[in-house]
Amino acid sequence: MQKKTRIAPSILAADFSQLGLEIQRLDQAGADYIHVDIMDGHFVPNISFGPSITKAVRPATAKPFDVHLMISPVDLYIEAFVDAGADIITIHPEAGPHFHRTIQLIKSLGVKAGLALNPGTPVDIVDHVIEDLDLLLVMSVNPGFGGQSFIPDSLNKIASLRKKIDATGRDIDLQVDGGINFETAPKAISAGADVLVAGTATFKGGPENYADNIKRMKGL
């Protein structure tokens, strides 16, 4: 059953010179999760930051830190991001040799586990791990850069995963990340997504607009 829409602003689009303050602003503006994109310049063609900065800004909010690890090999860094304050850790099946084992590692450390599907990753890859997941993430762009355009076929993938989640009867977030804005958000929600990652659209117009931007993407 689809849950109410939640917004997870990606801090990749924040003003990094005042990152802690930006996170506080997102909290006050009604963000549900804080989406933390970690990129290594190897698994994806960009570099963001690591566990030390994640830990440094963790006190800025009590909202869940939704950490998306676009790094490979990923297993070596799971514990560091748990220690840094992650509440949810999402990995890619291609980021290590045994992603079932990686999911078990995340769960063993007491945080929620997510699996991210790139545009070229088939939905059936989730079938033998879905019972262990707390979140499924549909990448509606190829990962590595913000500001890309939404890939239309992502809607079919969202709809397919919505059916798989509903068949389990479990409380699994269905998240979508990439090209989410005021036009694509309602399409993603209609297809079955209940958590929207939005960077550029959330921060559009400056801090005085964050709350309105979040409400608009929720359809309020």
Give 142-169 as a DSSP string.
Answer: -TT-SSPPP-TTHHHHHHHHHHHHHHHT
Question: Which residue range(s) make up the domain with 155?
Answer: 6-218
- Is residue 37 annotated as a catalytic residue, yes or no? yes
Residue 1 within any structural domain of the chain: no
Residue 152 within any structural domain of the chain: yes
pLDDT of residue 88: 98
**Residue 68 among known ligand-binding residues:** yes
**Residue 49 among known ligand-binding residues:** no
Residue 115 within any structural domain of the chain: yes
Domain count for the chain, please give it.
1
pLDDT of residue 200: 93
Residue 212 within any structural domain of the chain: yes
**Residue 145 among known ligand-binding residues:** yes
**Residue 205 among known ligand-binding residues:** no
Across 73-216, the runs of DSSP E, i.e. the strands, are 88-91, 112-117, 135-139, 173-177, 195-198
**Residue 110 among known ligand-binding residues:** no
d(CA 49, CA 57): 12
d(CA 39, CA 48): 5
Instruction: Report CA dihedral (125, 131, 132, 135) to the nearest 10 degrees.
Output: 70
Residue 168 within any structural domain of the chain: yes
Pairing of strands 195-198, 6-9: parallel
Name which of 209, 211, 43 is nearest 139 in CA terms: 43
**Residue 179 among known ligand-binding residues:** yes
What is the CA 149 to chain-centroid distance, rounded? 17
What are the beta bridge partners of residue 65?
A: 34
Q: Among the options 32, 37, 40, 194, which is catalytic?
A: 37
- Is residue 87 annotated as a catalytic residue, yes or no? no
133: exposed, middle or buried (Cβ count in 10 Å: 0-12, 13-18, 19+)? buried
Q: Among the options 40, 75, 173, 177, which is catalytic?
A: 177
Q: What percent of the chain stands above pLDDT 90? A: 94
**Residue 35 among known ligand-binding residues:** yes
pLDDT of residue 52: 97
d(CA 5, CA 7): 7
Here the CATH number for the domain that contains residue 37 is: 3.20.20.70
pTM for the model stands at 0.96
Whether residue 95 contacts residue 116, with contact meaning beta carbons closer than 8 Å, is answered with no
What are the beta bridge partners of residue 8?
A: 197
Q: What is the pLDDT along the chain (220 residues), one digit of tens a residue?
A: 778 999 999 999 999 999 999 999 999 999 999 999 999 999 999 999 999 999 999 999 999 999 999 999 999 999 999 999 999 999 999 999 999 999 999 999 999 999 999 999 999 999 999 999 999 999 999 987 767 799 999 999 999 999 999 999 999 999 999 999 999 999 999 999 999 999 999 999 999 999 999 999 998 6
What amino acid is encoded at 133 in this protein? Answer: L
121: exposed, middle or buried (Cβ count in 10 Å: 0-12, 13-18, 19+)? middle
